[in-house]
Amino acid sequence: MTARQKILVLGGGFGGIFAARKLARLAPDLVDVEIINRTNYFVFQPLLPEVAAGAISAADAVAPIRALLPKVRVRQAEIVAINLDEKRVEVAQGTGRRRIQVGFDHLVLALGQVADLSRVPGANDHALALKSLADAFALRNHVLHCLELADVTEHPEEKKRLLTFVVIGAGFSGTETVGELADLVGRSLRFYRNIERGEVRFVLMEYADRILPELPQSLADYAVRRLTGRGVDIMLNTALASVTNDAVTTGDGKTIETWTAVATIGNAPSPLITSLDLPMQWGKVRVDQYFRVAGFDNLWAVGDAALVPLADHGEAAGYAPPTAQFAVREGRRLAHNIVAEIRGTPPTAFEYASKGALTSLGMQKGVATVYGVRLTGFPAWLLWRSFYLSFLPGWATKIRVAVNWFLDTIVPRNTVQTHRFQRPATRYIHYRAGDTVFEPGMRADGFYMVLDGAFELLIDDDSLDAPYRKTYRPGDHFGERAIFGKGAYVGSITAIEDSRVLVLRAADFERFVAAFPAMEQYFDDYLPAAFPPALLGRAESVAEDEPEPMREAAGGPSD
């Protein structure tokens, strides 16, 4: 009898979710399936533009992973490292961000891609992304904030920047975003008496010579007519040169003054994937037609993270596009092939022909091609909504979204700014005598400055001849050694009196030190004097010390 196999799925997107669900159903007596994701919910990404525009609520674009995968173990954690040789994945989890090793027999990479605008000066700092639910939430609040400020400002130039909205990239995501944002602003102006419709400008910027390259030219032309008719300026053959606090500069030197730049371009592989020595092409992991990564018999990749060849293309270089309908089928086929590998039966090559492509243009208009039939206007928009409604996982989500869509056609949009609570970069923390601040193995979460009381550091490490102890009192600090080191504590800190500290988040501390040479020099001098040589070393940087549920624009309009 074949021994049970541990299947570990990294990532909770379309490919990962549908692969895990199918695996658990196919062979419950043969495999134990576990999925690791940074959040406990699945995001239906095609609906993010509608979340940003307020057509549906943020909660209706997500579904709880545990409800979708009742037969799968779900672990909400941050993936820190992947060790393919030892067949284990290191994660940081729990309140203490402890590092845990999770073993596997088969590993599925379903980490998708991340937004990376580093090649464009200023874009990472000033452009809003639309990759996650938090991004959509932030964009909606930002647009409404611009309307609020534009309604009361007495400076014409500032009002012009506040009412200019630039969307970069005219694929499906960019086109839908500009259409939905135009819908949001247009339907909200009734509440802003000092803003005329003619003062609002939308710009859709595209490097290529046409929008929506995935659709036939006739449908793209229709989309252009609809968008321009609603006041959207479409700039084709236009490269993005830079993004600043209040302007976007194009490759030919033109400047568009704006507080809002939304980037739907700049996809890049997950840093976890780039840290592995895997065959890559176009920023994706190369796999065969069975989703197996070359050189491994237990490593698989699926979804946006993988470059999946299509079996029906023969020797031609045909690859699966990064769309939901393909990712769903990829996940299911991958599950079948993993089970086949375990049972010793032949796998099946991935074959799937697209049923078509659809996109919404806002104002109940869209374009679509389905089974070769081309549709425009309201029929295409209705088909688009029906198609994505069918893809939503779970009946509860389908019903909520359908009700929201219906209500959106008959009631005004909600213009309430729902700012989330954001933990500040610095905070005060009080400890009682005997409280443990951190233990060995916890992830470095911040730089601690002692204001009152006292703390004791204890490091009992094999590299030391004897346990190392150090006492910290007001004016002292701790935590920097772990941040500059490997990102995890090797000792423990305990309050020996009732105490109070000021804590600076690890990522903010690193940025501050890197930008302040005098501070960097201080730690270069302090650390060798304060710790034995065996405890020092700047091996790697620490990632964000907590999941960032919202990406904020750096700069833009202020209160």
What pLDDT does residue 539 have? 36
pLDDT at 182 over 90: yes
Residue 558: the pLDDT is 44
315 pLDDT exceeds 90?
A: no
Give the CATH number of domain 5-38+77-114+268-354; options: 3.40.50.300, 3.50.50.60, 3.40.640.10, 3.20.20.70. 3.50.50.60
Residues 6 or more apart whose Cβ sits within 8 Å of residue 82 = 10, 89, 90, 107, 272, 275, 276
Residue 453 has pLDDT above 50, yes or no: yes
Confidence bin at 18 (pLDDT 50/70/90): very high
Which of 38-42, 71-75, 129-133, 147-151 has the weakest average pLDDT?
A: 129-133
pLDDT digits (tens, 9 = 90+) for 397-448: 778 778 877 777 777 666 777 665 566 788 899 898 998 898 887 878 899 9
Helix pair angle (217-229, 172-188), 10° resolution: 20
What pLDDT does residue 2 have? 62
- Judged by average pLDDT, the poorest of 208-212, 242-246, 518-522 is 242-246
How many residues in the chain?
Answer: 559
Average confidence score pLDDT of the chain: 87
Provide CB contacts within 8 A for 489, sequence distance 6+. 438, 439, 440, 441, 442, 443, 444, 482
Compute the chain's Rg from CA coordinates.
Answer: 26
CA distances from 384 to 366, 402, 414 (A): 8, 13, 23
Write down the pLDDT at residue 559. Answer: 40
CA distance 549 to 134: 5
Average pLDDT, stretch 322-330?
90
Angle, vertex CA 64, rays to CA 60 and CA 68, nearest 5: 110
Check if CATH label 2.60.120.10 holds for domain 426-535. yes
Whether 143 and 262 have beta carbons less than 8 Å apart is answered as no
What's the rounded Cα separation, in Å, for the pair 289 and 398?
A: 32
Q: How many CB atoms lie within 10 A of CB 225?
A: 12
The 10s digit of each residue's pLDDT in 247-270 is 999 999 999 999 999 999 988 899
In the predicted structure, residue 449 carries a pLDDT above the cut 70: yes
Alpha helices in 153-254 (DSSP H): 156-162, 172-188, 217-229
Q: Strand 31-37 vs strand 201-205: parallel, antiparallel, or unpaired?
A: unpaired
Residue 314 pLDDT exceeds 50: no
pLDDT band at 554 (very low <50, low <70, confident <90, very high): very low
What number is the average pLDDT over the span 306-325? 76
Question: What does the pLDDT read at residue 543?
Answer: 39
| Candidate from 197-201, 317-321, 336-340, 476-480 with smallest mean pLDDT | 317-321
363 — phi, psi (to 5°)?
55, 40
Structure confidence at residue 312 (pLDDT): 60
User: What is the pLDDT at residue 420?
Assistant: 56
Enumerate the domain spans of the chain. 5-38+77-114+268-354, 123-265+357-408, 426-535
- What pLDDT is attached to residue 317? 52
Pairing state of beta strands 164-168 and 201-205?
A: parallel
What pLDDT was estimated at residue 30? 93
> One-letter amino acid identity for 252?
D
Pairing type for strands 128-129 and 260-263 reads parallel
Tell me if domain 5-38+77-114+268-354 and domain 123-265+357-408 are identical in fold: yes
Average pLDDT over residues 321-328: 89
Q: Is the pLDDT of residue 82 over 80?
A: yes
CATH architecture of the domain 123-265+357-408 equals 3-Layer(bba) Sandwich (3.50)
Lowest-confidence pick of 142-151, 299-308, 345-354 = 345-354
- Are the CB atoms for 551 and 135 separated by under 8 Å? yes
Per DSSP, the three-state class of 339 is helix
At 74, the pLDDT band (50, 70, 90 cuts) reads: very high
Give the pLDDT confidence score for residue 236 in this predicted structure: 96
Report pLDDT digits (tens) over 516-525.
999 999 998 9
3-state secondary structure 284-321: EEEECCCCEECCCCCEEECHHHEECECHHHCCCCCECC
Question: What pLDDT is attached to residue 336?
Answer: 97
Question: For position 537, what pLDDT does the model report?
Answer: 54
Angle between helices 517-530 and 506-515 (to 10 degrees): 110
Of residues 107 and 461, which shows the higher confidence score? 107
Identify the DSSP state of 46.
Answer: G
Conformation bin of residue 265: beta by default, left when phi > 0, alpha when psi is -120 to 50: beta
Instruction: Report pLDDT for 97.
Output: 77
Res 1: pLDDT = 52
Strand partners, 501: 429, 450
Contact 482, 488 (CB under 8 A): yes
Interatomic CA distance for residues 212 and 230, integer angstroms: 18
| 3-state SS class at 21 | helix
Distance between CA atoms of residues 264 and 237, nearest Å: 16
Q: For residue 486, what pLDDT band results from cuts at 50, 70 and 90?
A: low
Q: What is the pLDDT of residue 462?
A: 74
Q: What is the share, in percent, of the chain residues with pLDDT greater than 70?
A: 91
Task: Identify the residue whose tokens are 């049970």.
Answer: 4
